[in-house]
Protein backbone atom coordinates (compact mmCIF):
# COMPACT_ATOMS: atom_id res chain seq x y z
CA UNK A 1 0.00 0.00 0.00
CA UNK A 2 1.42 3.37 -1.02
CA UNK A 3 0.13 6.67 0.33
CA UNK A 4 -0.61 9.19 -2.45
CA UNK A 5 -1.76 12.82 -2.35
CA UNK A 6 -5.10 13.87 -0.90
CA UNK A 7 -5.40 11.26 1.86
CA UNK A 8 -5.58 8.48 -0.72
CA UNK A 9 -3.59 5.28 -1.09
CA UNK A 10 -2.65 2.94 -3.90
CA UNK A 11 -3.54 -0.57 -2.73
CA UNK A 12 -2.51 -3.64 -4.65
CA UNK A 13 -1.98 -7.35 -4.37
CA UNK A 14 0.12 -9.78 -6.36
CA UNK A 15 -0.69 -13.20 -7.71
CA UNK A 16 1.92 -15.58 -9.16
CA UNK A 17 1.03 -16.53 -12.70
CA UNK A 18 2.08 -20.17 -12.71
CA UNK A 19 0.62 -23.12 -14.58
CA UNK A 20 -2.57 -24.05 -12.78
CA UNK A 21 -2.93 -20.61 -11.16
CA UNK A 22 -5.63 -18.76 -13.08
CA UNK A 23 -5.79 -14.97 -13.06
CA UNK A 24 -9.49 -15.07 -13.98
CA UNK A 25 -10.83 -15.11 -10.38
CA UNK A 26 -8.69 -12.06 -9.51
CA UNK A 27 -11.64 -9.64 -9.33
CA UNK A 28 -13.46 -11.87 -6.82
CA UNK A 29 -10.23 -12.39 -4.83
CA UNK A 30 -9.77 -8.61 -4.72
CA UNK A 31 -13.23 -8.08 -3.23
CA UNK A 32 -12.61 -10.95 -0.79
CA UNK A 33 -9.29 -9.44 0.29
CA UNK A 34 -10.91 -6.10 1.04
CA UNK A 35 -13.34 -7.84 3.40
CA UNK A 36 -10.62 -9.55 5.47
CA UNK A 37 -10.64 -8.14 9.01
CA UNK A 38 -6.88 -7.38 9.25
CA UNK A 39 -6.98 -5.46 5.95
CA UNK A 40 -10.22 -3.71 6.89
CA UNK A 41 -8.59 -2.63 10.14
CA UNK A 42 -5.64 -1.18 8.20
CA UNK A 43 -7.83 0.57 5.65
CA UNK A 44 -10.25 2.02 8.22
CA UNK A 45 -13.23 3.56 6.47
CA UNK A 46 -11.41 3.94 3.14
CA UNK A 47 -13.41 3.03 0.07
CA UNK A 48 -12.08 2.06 -3.37
CA UNK A 49 -12.33 4.73 -6.08
CA UNK A 50 -12.12 4.08 -9.81
CA UNK A 51 -11.67 0.70 -11.43
CA UNK A 52 -9.40 -2.11 -10.32
CA UNK A 53 -6.60 -2.60 -12.79
CA UNK A 54 -4.25 -5.50 -13.41
CA UNK A 55 -0.78 -5.58 -14.96
CA UNK A 56 1.48 -8.56 -15.61
CA UNK A 57 4.95 -8.18 -14.06
CA UNK A 58 7.66 -10.14 -15.92
CA UNK A 59 9.79 -12.00 -13.37
CA UNK A 60 11.86 -14.65 -15.09
CA UNK A 61 15.40 -13.53 -15.78
CA UNK A 62 16.42 -17.04 -16.89
CA UNK A 63 13.80 -17.14 -19.65
CA UNK A 64 14.13 -13.74 -21.30
CA UNK A 65 17.16 -13.04 -23.54
CA UNK A 66 19.56 -10.38 -22.27
CA UNK A 67 20.71 -9.36 -25.73
CA UNK A 68 19.91 -9.63 -29.40
CA UNK A 69 22.48 -8.38 -31.87
CA UNK A 70 23.43 -4.85 -30.85
CA UNK A 71 20.50 -4.55 -28.40
CA UNK A 72 20.84 -5.16 -24.66
CA UNK A 73 17.63 -5.76 -22.68
CA UNK A 74 17.32 -4.30 -19.18
CA UNK A 75 14.64 -4.12 -16.52
CA UNK A 76 11.24 -5.59 -17.36
CA UNK A 77 12.36 -6.24 -20.93
CA UNK A 78 14.91 -8.67 -19.45
CA UNK A 79 12.41 -10.20 -16.98
CA UNK A 80 14.62 -8.83 -14.17
CA UNK A 81 11.84 -8.30 -11.60
CA UNK A 82 12.10 -9.96 -8.18
CA UNK A 83 9.86 -13.05 -8.44
CA UNK A 84 8.98 -12.95 -4.72
CA UNK A 85 7.83 -9.32 -4.45
CA UNK A 86 7.31 -8.13 -8.04
CA UNK A 87 9.69 -5.23 -7.33
CA UNK A 88 11.58 -4.22 -10.42
CA UNK A 89 12.62 -0.57 -10.07
CA UNK A 90 15.99 -1.29 -8.44
CA UNK A 91 16.57 -4.21 -10.82
CA UNK A 92 15.76 -2.00 -13.84
CA UNK A 93 18.22 0.64 -12.64
CA UNK A 94 20.90 -1.98 -11.90
CA UNK A 95 20.58 -3.74 -15.27
CA UNK A 96 20.60 -0.33 -17.01
CA UNK A 97 23.84 0.58 -15.25
CA UNK A 98 25.37 -2.84 -16.03
CA UNK A 99 24.38 -2.52 -19.71
CA UNK A 100 25.99 0.92 -19.94
CA UNK A 101 29.13 -0.36 -18.18
CA UNK A 102 29.31 -3.31 -20.62
CA UNK A 103 29.19 -0.94 -23.60
CA UNK A 104 31.86 1.27 -22.02
CA UNK A 105 34.10 -1.69 -21.12
CA UNK A 106 33.81 -3.90 -24.19
CA UNK A 107 33.81 -1.32 -26.96
CA UNK A 108 32.35 -1.75 -30.43
CA UNK A 109 32.17 -5.57 -30.64
CA UNK A 110 28.50 -6.42 -29.97
CA UNK A 111 29.38 -10.03 -29.04
CA UNK A 112 31.93 -8.89 -26.44
CA UNK A 113 29.50 -6.29 -25.05
CA UNK A 114 26.77 -8.95 -24.72
CA UNK A 115 29.13 -11.41 -22.99
CA UNK A 116 30.31 -8.69 -20.60
CA UNK A 117 26.70 -7.75 -19.83
CA UNK A 118 25.58 -11.37 -19.31
CA UNK A 119 28.50 -12.01 -16.93
CA UNK A 120 27.73 -8.83 -14.96
CA UNK A 121 24.04 -9.70 -14.62
CA UNK A 122 24.97 -13.27 -13.60
CA UNK A 123 27.23 -11.85 -10.87
CA UNK A 124 25.25 -8.85 -9.59
CA UNK A 125 21.59 -9.91 -9.96
CA UNK A 126 20.92 -13.54 -10.91
CA UNK A 127 21.76 -15.02 -7.45
CA UNK A 128 19.29 -12.61 -5.81
CA UNK A 129 16.47 -13.53 -8.18
CA UNK A 130 17.13 -17.28 -7.78
CA UNK A 131 17.12 -16.83 -3.99
CA UNK A 132 13.88 -14.81 -4.16
CA UNK A 133 12.24 -17.50 -6.31
CA UNK A 134 13.23 -20.22 -3.82
CA UNK A 135 11.94 -18.15 -0.89
CA UNK A 136 8.74 -17.44 -2.78
CA UNK A 137 8.11 -21.18 -3.04
CA UNK A 138 8.56 -21.54 0.75
CA UNK A 139 6.28 -18.56 1.47
CA UNK A 140 3.61 -20.03 -0.79
CA UNK A 141 2.77 -22.57 1.94
CA UNK A 142 0.98 -21.33 5.08
CA UNK A 143 3.48 -23.20 7.28
CA UNK A 144 6.44 -21.63 5.47
CA UNK A 145 4.93 -18.15 5.67
CA UNK A 146 4.20 -18.53 9.39
CA UNK A 147 7.71 -19.75 10.10
CA UNK A 148 9.24 -16.85 8.15
CA UNK A 149 7.08 -14.24 9.93
CA UNK A 150 7.93 -15.77 13.34
CA UNK A 151 11.65 -15.86 12.54
CA UNK A 152 11.57 -12.26 11.32
CA UNK A 153 9.80 -11.08 14.48
CA UNK A 154 11.92 -12.95 17.05
CA UNK A 155 13.92 -9.99 18.41
CA UNK A 156 14.33 -6.27 17.66
CA UNK A 157 17.53 -7.20 15.80
CA UNK A 158 15.74 -9.73 13.54
CA UNK A 159 12.89 -7.26 12.95
CA UNK A 160 15.26 -4.44 12.02
CA UNK A 161 17.39 -6.61 9.78
CA UNK A 162 14.41 -8.32 8.19
CA UNK A 163 13.09 -4.87 7.19
CA UNK A 164 16.50 -3.88 5.81
CA UNK A 165 16.66 -7.12 3.82
CA UNK A 166 13.03 -6.85 2.66
CA UNK A 167 13.48 -3.28 1.41
CA UNK A 168 16.64 -4.36 -0.45
CA UNK A 169 19.09 -2.23 1.52
CA UNK A 170 21.56 -4.75 0.15
CA UNK A 171 21.20 -7.49 -2.49
CA UNK A 172 18.78 -10.28 -1.45
CA UNK A 173 21.31 -13.13 -1.55
CA UNK A 174 24.34 -11.09 -0.43
CA UNK A 175 24.85 -13.22 2.69
CA UNK A 176 25.16 -16.32 0.47
CA UNK A 177 27.54 -14.82 -2.10
CA UNK A 178 30.84 -13.90 -0.39
CA UNK A 179 32.30 -12.84 -3.75
CA UNK A 180 30.11 -9.71 -3.45
CA UNK A 181 31.01 -8.86 0.14
CA UNK A 182 32.54 -5.41 0.58
CA UNK A 183 33.28 -3.45 3.74
CA UNK A 184 30.02 -1.83 4.88
CA UNK A 185 27.86 -3.83 2.43
CA UNK A 186 25.43 -4.88 5.17
CA UNK A 187 25.57 -1.73 7.27
CA UNK A 188 25.01 1.15 4.83
CA UNK A 189 22.25 3.69 5.57
CA UNK A 190 19.80 1.87 3.27
CA UNK A 191 16.56 3.09 1.73
CA UNK A 192 15.13 4.54 4.95
CA UNK A 193 17.98 6.04 6.99
CA UNK A 194 17.09 7.07 10.52
CA UNK A 195 16.33 10.80 10.65
Ligand X SMILES: Cc1cc2nc3c(=O)[nH]c(=O)nc-3n(C[C@H](O)[C@H](O)[C@H](O)COP(=O)(O)OP(=O)(O)OC[C@H]3O[C@@H](n4cnc5c(N)ncnc54)[C@H](O)[C@@H]3O)c2cc1C
Per CB under 6 A, residues contacting ligand X are: 12, 55, 57, 75-77, 81, 86-90, 92
Shortest distance, position 108 Cβ to ligand X, whole Å: 25
C-alpha–C-alpha distance, residues 166 and 160, integer Å: 10
DSSP class of residue 72 equals E
**CB nearer to ligand X: pick between 31 and 150:** 31
Per-residue DSSP letter, 81: S
Q: Between the CA of residue 55 and those of 10, 39, 43, what are the distances in Å?
A: 14, 22, 23
Query: Residue 81 or 116: which CB sits closer to ligand X?
Result: 81
Least Å from the CB of residue 74 to ligand X: 6
Give 88 or 171: the residue with its C-beta nearer to ligand X: 88
Instruction: Enumerate the β-bridge partners of residue 8.
Output: 4
| Positive or negative: CA dihedral 190, 159, 134, 137 | negative
Closest contact distance (angstroms) between CB of 123 and ligand X is 20
Q: Which is nearer to ligand X, 54 or 140 (CB)?
A: 54
Cα separation of 114 and 150, whole Å?
Answer: 43
Residue 27 Cβ vs ligand X, minimum distance, rounded to whole Å:
15
If the CB atoms of residues 10 and 179 are measured against ligand X, the closer one turns out to be 10
Contact yes or no for 158/151 (Cβ under 8 A)? yes
The least distance separating ligand X from the CB of residue 154, rounded to whole angstroms, comes to 26
Amino acid sequence: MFPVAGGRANVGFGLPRRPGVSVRPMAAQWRGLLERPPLRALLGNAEPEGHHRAWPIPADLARAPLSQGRVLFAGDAAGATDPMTGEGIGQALLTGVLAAEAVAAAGSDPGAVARHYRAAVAHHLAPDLRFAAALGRILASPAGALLAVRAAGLTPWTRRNFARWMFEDYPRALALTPSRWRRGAFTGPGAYPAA
